[in-house]
Amino acid sequence: MIIFLTGQIILPNNSSHISQTYTWLILPAFILFLSSGKEVFKEHRLNTLTILTLCFIVLYILSFLWSDTDEDAGRFVKDGIYIVLFIFSIYMLLRSDYWDFSRILETSALIISIGAAISLLNHFFILDAPTGVREYRISNMGDWGFGNLDNPIPAAIYYGSFSAILFVLFSDRKSSKARSFLQLTSLLILNTYVMLTWSRGPIISLFLSYFLSWILIKNKKSTIALLAITISSSIIYFSDQISTSISDRLNNSQSIYATNEIKINSSGISVTGSNFKFMESLEESEDFLNKTFSERGSIWITTYKKSLERFWFGHGVGAKFQIPYNQNRTIAFHAHNIYLQVFYELGFIGLFLFVLLICLLIKHLYTSRENINTKIAIALLCIGLFSYITDVSKIFTKPHIYWINFWLPLGIAIAIKIKTNASPLSFSRNQ
């Protein structure tokens, strides 16, 4: 599990991350499933959440039958099996009386924070990259290949997920002063990395996750963590603006102030008091969404229209997807919104199953919210559900960092639901 969670940092490329995940997580889970699967199914009937999860996975696989994808059917069958085995591995780890799953997550988060620290030192101290708002957006460690996520948005989601994990662990668990200091320091490092990606969606999602965790835990340590994060993030965001403002005041003797216009440069919104109108058509909505969400409006509207062509069952898993946007200068190969992507691939039936699965997942997590692993799952799911609005290409895939914000919380919820009525499995060190 640690290899899967930290592979983007400790392994040189994505291919080695996937292959090592197969070797050290998927294969052992498969062997354990063959040896212990019967025992699990004999002891427990499948609950509603598990059944709905399996239905969603099966629908994804079957949708290959009406898809125009060039991929082989076996690829999607294997992806479904990988996801099932991943969930099964979470169940076995949580059921074991030898492994502490939250410690596995903590160890992974500390390793990721080391990677984040190396990245920050390399880019902003050695290479002297600018720290101004969106002047430079970090997404890798450097030129040597480790920690390279290619794009600041998935980088923000990935590092933000471990920041959320450490927030919960620091706030909820009683630890020594040294351990608490290490957790808080690592948390601030990860949060700094996320801020310097300048990815608005993931940053907002992460802060919503912090706030939700604070509400669930609400003690002195959670308040300290939230205050520390807020102060450090404010310093990062406003320091460059303050220094620029001071410089401008020294260099310019005159300033021009607009009285009837509001401009928000960071989000691309430009609204004037004299010409603001409510959107009355799809085209006007598209223009508004493009300005607000970095040209994604065209992608979303076109995806929605294409989805209506095959309303009930969609275009199928892996269906060809090419939508020009940004005045036809760029082509999108996914919907930049997981809910629309599911609607496009699986139609209304698939989207309904997906939303129902999310609602049931939230219900199960809420009912067991006193468990520390559940609190972590809630934090991760919060990041996922809100980040999915503006990005994330797919969740039905081979081992991928996007698993962390959906299949991992889902696996925790299923495992805890079953574990409450199960006797622990004892694993020796040799096993």
Instruction: For residue 35, give every residue at least 6 positions away whose Cβ sits within 8 Å of its Cβ, in sequence order, or none.
Output: none
Q: What is the predicted pLDDT for the residue at 90? A: 94
Q: Which residues pair with 324 in a beta bridge?
A: 331
Largest CA distance in the chain: 80
List the domain boundaries for the chain: 1-95+293-431, 101-246
Angle subtended at Cα 206 by Cα 1 and Cα 411, rounded to the nearest 5 degrees: 35
H-state helical runs in 122-151: none
Instruction: For residue 112, give every residue at least 6 positions away whose Cβ sits within 8 Å of its Cβ, in sequence order, or none.
Output: 5, 6, 9, 158, 159, 162, 190
CB atoms within 10 A of CB 141: 20
d(CA 407, CA 381): 9
Q: What is the predicted pLDDT for the residue at 335? A: 86
Q: What is the predicted pLDDT for the residue at 271? A: 39
Quick one: 333 exposed, middle or buried, by C-beta within 10 A (0-12, 13-18, 19+)? exposed
Pair of tokens at residue 27: 């294969």
Place of tokens 């081992």: 399
Torsion angle in degrees (nearest 10) through CA of 173, 176, 177, 178: -110
Instruction: For residue 15, give every residue at least 6 positions away whose Cβ sits within 8 Å of its Cβ, in sequence order, or none.
Output: none
Question: Cβ(161)–Cβ(210) under 8 Å?
Answer: no
Place of tokens 């919503």: 208
Question: Cβ(102)–Cβ(376) under 8 Å?
Answer: yes
Q: What is the predicted pLDDT for the residue at 38? A: 74
Q: What is the predicted pLDDT for the residue at 262? A: 35
Pair of tokens at residue 363: 């219900």
Q: In this predicted model, what pLDDT tens digit does every residue of 57-106 receive, in sequence order? A: 999 999 999 998 888 888 999 999 999 999 999 998 988 766 789 999 99
d(CA 384, CA 109): 17
Q: What is the predicted pLDDT for the residue at 321? A: 87
Task: Compute the Cα dihedral for 377, 383, 389, 395 and give only its sign.
Answer: negative
Q: H or E stretch including 325?
A: strand 323-325
State CA 141 to chain mean position distance. Answer: 19
Residues of the chain with pLDDT under 50: 253-279, 423-431
Task: Compute the Cα dihedral for 276, 279, 280, 283 and give only its sign.
Answer: positive
Q: What is the predicted pLDDT for the residue at 286? A: 63
Q: What is the predicted pLDDT for the residue at 299? A: 87
d(CA 321, CA 384): 22
d(CA 406, CA 408): 6
In single-letter form, the type of residue at position 186 comes to S
Question: Cβ(37)–Cβ(95) under 8 Å?
Answer: no
Question: Cβ(381)–Cβ(405) under 8 Å?
Answer: yes
Pair of tokens at residue 283: 């085209």
In single-letter form, the type of residue at position 298 comes to S
Pair of tokens at residue 294: 């970095």
CA distances from 163 to 111, 185, 202 (A): 12, 11, 12
d(CA 166, CA 185): 10
Residue 331 DSSP SS3: strand
H-state helical runs in 368-406: 372-387
Question: Cβ(40)–Cβ(90) under 8 Å?
Answer: no
Q: What is the predicted pLDDT for the residue at 239? A: 77
- For the whole model, what pTM was predicted? 0.86
Place of tokens 């310097």: 196
d(CA 78, CA 414): 21
Question: Cβ(217)–Cβ(170) under 8 Å?
Answer: no
Q: In this predicted model, what pLDDT tens digit does every residue of 163-174 receive, in sequence order? A: 999 999 999 988
d(CA 335, CA 302): 9
